[in-house]
């Protein structure tokens, strides 16, 4: 419980670092084998098993996971400048990743009720240069994947889930991260499974995973599922099988990146995996407690709701100030922060509210729902170091705010 003698404090995020992490890190430091090796491979296997997919490729960040999942498409006929459809509202890393992978982002507005891409607008955005659709499961609420996958099938497109915030989410009984051609997760500090920094791509396509392993290490030809050299330091029989006997670690098949996860990060991730169910359940209790009681703030504030076909990944509580409110977002955030509740804004409309995308030529008003949330949305933590007492404190604090500011 995060209470002090004076007041309760509700920080936005946390990270669990069990004692087993320290033990593994100590072992790794003793061996001096700290770059990507056997612990990274163990973490990848456990993550794949968790989602019931064939492959998981660990990387240095969730942004890199988005970038490399997209960059795989270059091996399958995509050209630089081809188009990727994505929601206008997301953490800016989603849009940045499209550009870093060599593609053009084509933005679609969101559904204010779900915070996710409006599936009814996707097909109108498809052109002859479209290569993939990248839905985002924002705040852990699954995007409506069935119609998205149907559109992709009709047009011969790949689907890549941005599941950065969606650990533990389910759609139609299946885990988010197993629904499409690939999925990209963040393993950043505030997420349910964390490696401090880090990301991971999941897929059932073994050929995609092979390309991902090449991409994360400069595009080299060395891309086995488990590297003998890195994991056991044994002789690798493939090492000198290049065309003229070259070391295949120095044969580069494609334009690549340097985005490997290291052993120390994997050690923390493995320990997080061992208490994953405990973390997930605690966070879901916190989230659902708040969501089930949030209707008391209607019509001034709104949030998402868990529907029968899904489980929301318990990342945070999104809060959207409604048109009926007579107060501003700044009024609400200042009040919450002054009362010990840490907040974050609910991202922004990338094409019209993030200056870096201005050169694409979008104009404010093209994405009214995303823009509204960019001005009127916040989110609050539900992490495992909090409990129902803190959730009730958040609700009561919001109630007191409305008593003063909405008359």
pLDDT of 26 reads: 93
Write down the pLDDT at residue 239.
64
pLDDT tens string 235-273: 666 666 666 777 777 788 999 999 999 999 999 999 999
List beta partners, residue 266. Answer: none
Q: Is there a single domain that holds both residue 280 and residue 188?
A: no
Are residues 152 and 291 part of one domain? no
User: How far apart are alpha carbons 342 and 70 in whole angstroms?
Assistant: 34
State the pTM of this model.
0.93
CB within 8 A of 216, min separation 6: which ones?
57, 59, 64, 68, 256, 257, 258, 259, 260
Give the pLDDT of residue 146: 98
Cβ atoms of 290 and 398 within 8 Å: the answer is: no
146 and 261 share a domain?
A: yes
Residue 7 lies in a domain: no
For residues 50 and 198, membership in a common domain is answered with: yes
Distance from C-alpha of 199 to C-alpha of 266, rounded to nearest angstrom: 11
Six-digit token string for 309:
């076909």
- Tell whether 45 is covered by a domain: yes
Q: Enter the DSSP assignment of 10.
A: B
CATH number at residue 316: 3.90.1150.10
How far apart CA 110 and CA 108 sit, in angstroms, is: 7
- Look at residue 310 and give its three-state secondary structure: strand
Asked if residue 12 belongs to a domain, the reply is no
Residues 293 and 169 in one domain: no
| CA–CA gap between residue 270 and residue 252 (Å, rounded) | 31
pLDDT at residue 251, rounded to an integer: 81
Measured distance CA(253)–CA(350) in Å, rounded? 33
Residue 6 maps to a domain: no
Sheet holding 344-345, edge to edge: 301-302, 316-321, 377-381, 344-345
Residue ending a domain, among 252, 273, 294, is 273
221 and 347 in a single domain? The answer is no
Is residue 8, in this structure, part of any structural domain at all? no
Q: How far apart are CA 112 and CA 347, in angstroms?
A: 13
pLDDT at 5: 42
Distance of alpha carbon 269 from alpha carbon 191, whole angstroms: 11
Q: Is residue 136 part of a domain?
A: yes
Clarify whether residues 259 and 294 are in a common domain: no
132 and 255 housed in the same domain: yes
**Whether residue 158 sits in one domain with residue 306:** no
- Nearest Cα residue to 89 out of 147, 157, 150, 139: 139
Q: Give the chain's end-to-end CA distance (angstroms, integer).
A: 33
Last residue of a domain, one of 235, 254, 273: 273
Is 244 within a domain?
A: yes
Q: Would you state the pLDDT for residue 324? A: 97
Query: For every residue of 170-208, which 3-state class applies, written as one string?
Result: EECCEECCCCCCEEEEECCCCCCCCCCCCEEEEECCHHH
Judged by DSSP in three states, 151 sits in helix
pLDDT at 157: 98
Taking the C-alpha atoms of residue 208 and residue 276, their distance in angstroms, rounded to an integer, is: 27
Q: Are residues 151 and 285 in the same domain?
A: no
- Give residue 323's domain range: 276-405
Report pLDDT for 246. Answer: 75
**Residue in 134, 131, 13 with CA at minimum distance from that of residue 63:** 134
Q: Which ranges in 216-328 belong to alpha helices (H)?
A: 228-232, 263-274, 276-292
- Which CATH number belongs to the domain containing residue 76 in this structure? 3.40.640.10
Per the CB < 8 A criterion, the answer to whether 103 and 131 are in contact is: yes
Domain C-terminal end among 273, 304, 332: 273
Low-confidence ranges of the chain (pLDDT < 50): 1, 4-5
Domain assignment of residue 377, yes or no? yes
Q: Are residues 228 and 309 in the same domain?
A: no
Residue 368 and residue 356 share a domain: yes
77-103 pLDDT, tens digit each: 999 999 999 999 999 999 999 999 999
Contact 319, 299 (CB under 8 A): no
Domains held by the chain: number:
2
């Amino acid at each position: 419980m995060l209470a002090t003698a004076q007041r309760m404090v509700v920080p936005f995020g946390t990270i669990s670092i069990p004692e087993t992490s320290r033990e593994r890190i100590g072992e790794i430091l003793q061996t001096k084998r700290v770059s990507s090796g056997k612990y990274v491979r163990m973490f990848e296997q456990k993550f794949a098993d968790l989602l019931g997919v064939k492959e998981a490729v660990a990387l240095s960040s969730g942004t890199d996971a988005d970038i490399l999942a997209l960059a795989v498409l270059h091996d399958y006929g995509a050209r630089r400048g081809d188009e990727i459809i994505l929601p206008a509202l997301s953490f800016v890393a989603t849009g940045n990743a499209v550009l870093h992978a060599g593609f053009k982002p084509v933005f679609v507005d969101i559904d204010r009720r779900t915070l996710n891409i409006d599936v009814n607008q996707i097909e109108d955005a498809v052109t002859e240069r479209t290569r993939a659709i990248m839905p985002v499961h924002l705040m852990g609420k699954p995007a409506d994947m069935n119609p998205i996958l149907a559109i992709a099938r009709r047009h011969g497109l790949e689907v890549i889930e941005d599941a950065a915030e969606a650990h533990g989410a389910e759609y139609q009984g299946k885990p988010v991260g197993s629904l499409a051609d690939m999925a990209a997760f963040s393993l950043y500090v505030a997420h349910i499974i964390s490696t401090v920094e880090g990301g991971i791509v999941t897929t059932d396509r073994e050929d995609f995973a092979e390309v991902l392993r090449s991409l994360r290490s400069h595009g080299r030809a060395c891309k086995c599922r488990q590297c003998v050299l890195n994991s056991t330091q044994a002789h690798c029989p493939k090492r000198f099988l290049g065309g003229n006997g070259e070391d295949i670690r120095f044969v580069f098949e494609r334009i690549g990146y340097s985005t490997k996860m290291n052993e120390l990060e994997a050690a923390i991730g493995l320990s997080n995996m061992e208490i994953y169910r405990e973390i997930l359940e605690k966070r879901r209790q916190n989230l659902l407690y708040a969501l089930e009681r949030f209707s008391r703030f209607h019509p001034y504030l709104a949030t998402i709701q868990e529907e029968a076909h899904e489980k929301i990944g318990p990342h945070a509580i999104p809060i959207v100030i409604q048109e009926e409110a007579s107060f501003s977002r700044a009024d609400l955030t200042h009040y919450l922060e002054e009362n010990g509740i840490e907040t974050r804004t609910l991202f922004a409309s990338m094409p019209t509210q993030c200056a870096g995308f201005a050169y694409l030529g979008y104009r404010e008003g093209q994405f009214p729902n995303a823009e509204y949330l960019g001005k009127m949305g916040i989110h609050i933590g539900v992490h495992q170091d909090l409990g129902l007492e803190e959730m009730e404190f958040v609700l009561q604090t919001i109630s007191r705010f409305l008593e003063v500011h909405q008359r």
